[in-house]
Structure 1
Amino acid sequence: MKKCATHWKDYECIDAGNGEKLERWKNIILRRPDPQAVWLADTSSKEWKNTHAIYHRSKQGGGSWDFKKDLPEYWTIDYKELTFKVSPTGFKHTGLFPEQAVNWDWMQEAIRNSHSEVRVLNLFAYTGGATMACSSAGASEVVHVDASKGMVQWAKENMALSHLENNTIRFIVDDVLKFVQREKRRGHTYHGILMDPPSYGRGPNGEMWKLEEQITELVSACLEILDDEPLFFLVNSYTTGFSSTVLENILSTTVLKRFPNGKVEAGEVGLPITRENLTLPCGIYGRWIKND
């Protein structure tokens, strides 16, 4: 199943191909590498040339931005009632993954349709797009966990930009598995759990993370802190070669087995490409949702 983020106004994937994508972030045009965009595109056109910045990969790893026009250090974009800080980083990212809006909408609908308290846990929470979406939708508490102090600080800025300072959002810098295990010992539970684990990573104290070796362990640990009346469970992944069927199978053998009153679905998330009326694939998702 394919889910496409079609409700953006401040973001647009103008074109993609030849291993790159051309994007509009409000009124700023960026050109970035994209390993999925392997089809042909006319990158010699005026649109591709008239950019504010281009990210060039280095053969030694990493890369750098080539700024063609003056850019502010950061600017903001809106998605519905939410506002986010955007800034080109040294690793080609901008601090936001716009395709995740399809998951924000899905979680917001679930929270708004719930007639009881909803506590949400966001793991590998990055700059907090999902955190702000869940909080804005009425979650009674959102716990935001990430190993990077810098990303957590960025998320706090997004909280302020979205005027959610008076909502209950807890920001935690920690290794996610250790945090989940401590929550189990503390007896804390959540109605909604989401995670966006990297392929590889390190916790704040050097803890190693490898997706294919630890994802099932983490989902199983999260199952121990899922409320007896859960609302949703979501796993995102950008790991190349990792099938959405794997996520479907993991959730079916863990969450669905414990809570058969729900359903599991999985598939791709993507962005509409304006110029060619195509879809840019942007990772996979697996979801468990309580039946209506």
Structure 2
Amino acid sequence: MARLLEPSTLLVGEGWSDYCLLDSGHGRKLEAYGTRRVIRPEPQAMWSPRCTDWLADAEFVPGSDEDGGGRWHFADVAARNAMLQDQWVLGWRDLRFNAQCTPFRHLGFFPDMAPVWDWMDDQLDGLDKAETLNLFGYTGVGSLALGRRGAVTHVDASKKSVAQARANAALSGLAGDGSERPAPWPVRWLIDDAGKFAAREVRRGRRYDGIILDPPKFGRGPNGEVWRIEDGLPALVADCRRLLDEQSRFLFLTAYAVRLSSLALAGLLHEAFAALPGRIEHGELAIREAGPDGRILPTAIFARWTNGS
């Protein structure tokens, strides 16, 4: 039976050459994405900024509705044209992907996931032809990371997001037509509702070596299906468990902007994975500010199952 480790774990991203958390405070954060600087809302940055000079190319100013809304403000017309209408290429390890100012306040990927990408790669060590599943795969940087180890099934309900994911694969020299998992890029790009897809995979008798699961708080499927994390997550986790077995390596579950505890996510996994070996861990994702005494800014909660001691 998988053991639940009650003490929480902190996964901290340290930044890299194309991404850096420069400063944070007073409910905002200043970040560098390549050569461009942006300011975004961050309610958990309750402390004071360390720097007074927050020059940036763009800032996302939220609307009055706590559930979303807002718009980007740019330093000048040139910055607006470069960042709102165009994309620019960033890198992580040997991968390349596009960044762009989106209406959802982020830049098309989540930099706090970098430690998770490394962790997944470690879990699949020794498997030359791993089969992994990325549900709610968004623009596919996680799928690119998983693709080093074998075939990936990338599922997202947004046609636009899947198109962006395929463009990112092309930037990394890993593009295929996606139909039959062609070499050299073994991926299926699927526009589908994550819950319905997982249920069909269970009926097909499929299994995977690893699953990454990044559900939104609220969303809609390609045919108008309504997703609410509190309602849909238990059944989805149960189906994901049925797609894993004693030889599988991991499941990683993240949740952003929700009124949940990581221990609640861990409890859900502990129940679902009772018949498998390994351990259940939970905790927070975070990013460390630049500098020798950089503060740690929390960003999301997670729970994960690992088939190990």
- Kindly tell me: are residues 239 and 32 of structure 1, through their superposed partners in 2, closer, same or farther at Cα, counting changes over 3 Å? closer
Aligned to 1:77: 90
Deviation at 1:224, TM superposition (A): 1.5
Aligned to 2:118: 105
**Within 2, Cα distance between the matches of 1:251 and 1:214?**
14
* Pair 1:127-2:163 in alignment: no
Gaps of 5+ in 2: 1-8, 176-183
Deviation at 1:7, TM superposition (A): 5.1
**Within 2, Cα distance between the matches of 1:264 and 1:59?**
38
Q: Among all aligned residue pairs of Structure 1 and Structure 2, give the percentage whose two residues are the same amino acid.
A: 37
Aligned to 1:53: 58
**Alignment partner of 2:306 out of 266, 271, 289:** 289
Which structure exhibits the higher relative contact order, with contacts defined as CA atoms closer than 8 Å and separated by 6 or more residues?
A: 2
Q: TM-score, normalised to structure 1's length?
A: 0.93
Aligned to 1:163: 173
**Within 1, Cα distance between the matches of 2:186 and 2:33?**
29
**Within 2, Cα distance between the matches of 1:74 and 1:115?**
35
Aligned to 1:268: 284
Aligned to 2:75: 68
Superposed CA deviations along residues 33-58 of structure 1, whole A, max 9, x for unmatched, are 11221222256x22x1x211111112
Aligned to 2:23: 15
**Cα-Cα RMSD:** 1.5
* Pair 1:195-2:179 in alignment: no
Letter in 2 for 1:145: V
**Within 2, Cα distance between the matches of 1:30 and 1:204?**
31
Aligned to 2:179: none
Deviation at 1:248, TM superposition (A): 1.3
Contact residue 23 and residue 50 of structure 2 kept, 8 A: no
Contact residue 213 and residue 253 of structure 2 kept, 8 A: yes
Superposed CA deviations along residues 182-232 of structure 1, whole A, max 9, x for unmatched, are 112222211101100011111111111111122111100111222441111
**Within 2, Cα distance between the matches of 1:258 and 1:27?**
49
Letter in 2 for 1:39: W
Q: TM-score, normalised to structure 2's length?
A: 0.88
- Divergent runs of 4+, >4 A: none
**Within 2, Cα distance between the matches of 1:279 and 1:285?**
16
Aligned to 2:247: 229
Corresponding residue pairs, total: 284
Tell which deviates more after alignment, 218-227 or 15-24. Answer: 218-227
Gaps of 5+ in 1: none
**Within 1, Cα distance between the matches of 2:308 and 2:300?**
25
**Within 1, Cα distance between the matches of 2:272 and 2:64?**
41
Aligned to 2:108: 95
3-state SS of 1:258 partner: coil
Deviation at 1:130, TM superposition (A): 0.9
Aligned to 1:27: 35
Aligned to 1:142: 152
Contact residue 207 and residue 245 of structure 2 kept, 8 A: yes
